[in-house]
Amino acid sequence: MTDSDALYLDYAASTPPAREVAGAMAACLSGREPFANPSSTHASGRAAGNAVDEARARLGALLNASPRDLLFTSGATESDNLAIAGAARFRAHRGRHLVTMPTEHKAVVDTFRALEKQGFDVTWLRPGTDGVLDIVQLEAALRDDTQLVSVMHVNNETGIVQDIGAIGALCRDRDVLFHTDAAQSVGKLPIDLASLPVDLLSLTAHKFYGPQGIGALYVANRDGCGVEPLLHGGGQERRLRPGTLPLHQVVGLGAAAALASERQADDLRHMQVLRDQLWNGLQKLPGLHLNGAPEQQYPGILNVSADGVDGESLMLALEPLEVASGSACNSLSKEPSYVLRALGRDDALAQSAIRFSFGRPTRAADIERATDIYCAAITRLRALAPQAAG
């Protein structure tokens, strides 16, 4: 059940399935469209297989990648696990040194932590105060036994965009695999895998108006690049990710990818307008801090901290505005965001951070209302606080 008064600005957490996506999935679930096991060899199975092929082709078109290099998974978390743990094991005979950043998504951070426990040596590179990885710092961290670098494309909390072209080129030059978690960028920013030196790329459908529970991993078809499967039990997905494919979700992902191919440029312009409107509106309040530099950020995300307010109280005071807090892993955690702490924010500012994220359905009137709600909440909480804190 949702609150009819709610104003949803949490599209970086999940987007609603597009009408075209829901329609394609409903047709599958109705039994009128292909419904059979795509691995079956009878006519119904072949029809289902054709639907999977079409979805894979649509995703390939969005990324300018060969469809055969795309594996369907249950989402970005599984893709990250398969890419990182799978590639580390695939190349373990060559060396056991890996490189990543503490500002990555938990799906990446926790996978590297698990590999550390298994004897891999991980170098954690901290970003500058602008959130961006210094390529010179990365170059210095690479060793003869380095096998994998993983750096996300767009940060899920701040929207900061990393230069995956430059990072990938350096890795390619040093014969190191490069993985990027692109959960926040696929379908939103142009990604051309035919020209980008990316070996492994994770994505999930529900961040670009597809269904939840389906994602993909791109594995470049080149010498020295590969992953060891984490699951066993069938020959699906080139034996790298076995299990019967969820046809309706795969079809939904394909529909979302096709829509993104059409809408991406317009969507990006729309995000820019909304972001500028919100930031311009919020700046009438003193003591606000933008987390990240606008010229290095995806415009669909705006992350703001405020002096003199408690983050948990701010989240409650913002209702019915639905946004994400600066707490680490869930809205009720008091732990300040490790991403914002890594950017140099102190605990109080990191804890007061609010992530606004916009979507296709967001309108200028929504931003106006969100601005009013945020400003009123900050003003009220500051009035409630001891003078020294305000």
Partner 1 sequence: MQAPYYNEAVRRLFAAPAHAGDASGITADVARGGAHVVLAADLDGSRIVKMRFRVLGCPHLVAAAEAACAGLEGQPAAALREFSIGDIMGILEIPVEKTGPMLLLEDAIGALGQQIISKDSNRS
Name which of 259 and 309 has its Cβ closer to partner 1: 309
Q: Distance (Å, rounded) from C-alpha 390 to C-alpha 178?
A: 45
The pattern of x and - marking residues 258 through 297 that bind partner 1 according to CB under 8 A reads ----------------------------------------
Phi, psi of 253 (to 5 degrees): -60, -45
Residue 206's contacts (CB-CB under 8 Å, 6 or more residues apart) are 14, 15, 17, 75, 212, 213, 214
Query: Whole-number minimum distance, CB 288 to partner 1, in Å?
Result: 17
Burial class for 180, CB neighbours closer than 10 Å (0-12, 13-18, 19+) = buried
The Cα angle at residue 147 between residues 142 and 151, in degrees rounded to 5: 70
In the list 121, 312, 322, 335, the residue contacting partner 1 (rule: CB under 8 A) is 312
Q: Which residue blocks in 2-75 are alpha helix, DSSP H? A: 19-30, 43-63
Residues 366-385 that bind partner 1 (CB under 8 A): 383-385
* Segment lying near partner 1 (by CB under 8 A), choices 141-149, 225-233, 290-298, 311-319: 311-319
Q: Does 347 bind partner 1 (CB under 8 A)?
A: yes
- Minimum distance, C-beta of residue 287 to partner 1, in the bound complex (Å): 13
Is residue 217 a contact partner of residue 85, using CB atoms and an 8 Å limit? no
Three-state secondary-structure class, residue 384: helix
Q: Which is nearer to partner 1, 154 or 314 (CB)?
A: 314
Among residues 355, 373, 295, 296, the alpha carbon closest in space to that of 12 is found at: 355
* Sequence-distant (≥ 6) Cβ neighbours of residue 21 within 8 angstroms: 209, 210, 211, 252, 255, 256, 259
Least distance in angstroms from the C-beta of 335 to partner 1 = 11
Pairing of the two strands 354-357 and 324-325: antiparallel
Question: Between residues 364 and 389, which has the closer beta carbon with respect to partner 1?
Answer: 389
Tell me the window of 202-210, 235-243, 267-275, 309-317 that interacts with partner 1 (CB under 8 A).
309-317
List CB contacts of 51: < 8 A, sequence separation 6 or more. Answer: 28, 33, 34, 38, 247, 250, 251, 254
Q: Looking at 29, 166, 329, 389, which residue binds partner 1 (CB under 8 A)?
A: 389
Determine, following the binding rule CB under 8 A, whether residue 5 of this chain makes contact with partner 1: no
Q: Smaller CB distance to partner 1: residue 214 or 373?
A: 373
- Tell me which residue has tokens 């669909």: 300
Quote the least distance from Cβ 124 to partner 1, whole Å.
26
Of the residues 28, 171, 225, 329, only one is catalytic, namely: 329
Q: Binding to partner 1 (CB under 8 A): which residues in 350-369?
A: 351
Per-residue binding letters, 17-56, with partner 1 (x by CB under 8 A): ----------------------------------------
Among 27, 238, 313, 335, binds partner 1 (CB under 8 A): 313
- E strand segments, the chain: 7-8, 70-73, 97-100, 121-124, 146-150, 177-181, 200-204, 215-219, 288-290, 301-306, 321-322, 324-325, 354-357
User: Which member of 43, 136, 194, 388 binds partner 1 (CB under 8 A)?
Assistant: 388
Residue 141's nearest CA partner among 179, 97, 180 is 97
- Closer to partner 1 by CB, 75 or 311: give it: 311
Q: Count residues binding partner 1 (CB under 8 A).
A: 19
Nearer to partner 1, 37 or 313 (CB): 313
List strands edge to edge, sheet with 324-325. Answer: 288-290, 301-306, 354-357, 324-325
* 375 carries an active-site annotation: no
- Which one among 293, 316, 329, 364 touches partner 1, defined by CB under 8 A? 316
Contacting range for partner 1; rule: CB under 8 A; set: 114-122, 196-204, 254-262, 310-318: 310-318
Residue 223 CB contacts under 8 Å (≥ 6 apart), including other chains: none
Q: Does 386 bind partner 1 (CB under 8 A)?
A: yes
Answer for which of 310, 354, 355, 356 binds partner 1 (CB under 8 A) is 310
Contact 193, 218 (CB under 8 A): yes
Nearer CB in complex with partner 1: 264/352: 352
Q: Contact residues for partner 1 (CB under 8 A)?
A: 308-310, 312-313, 316-317, 332, 334, 347-348, 351, 383-389
Catalytic center residues: 329
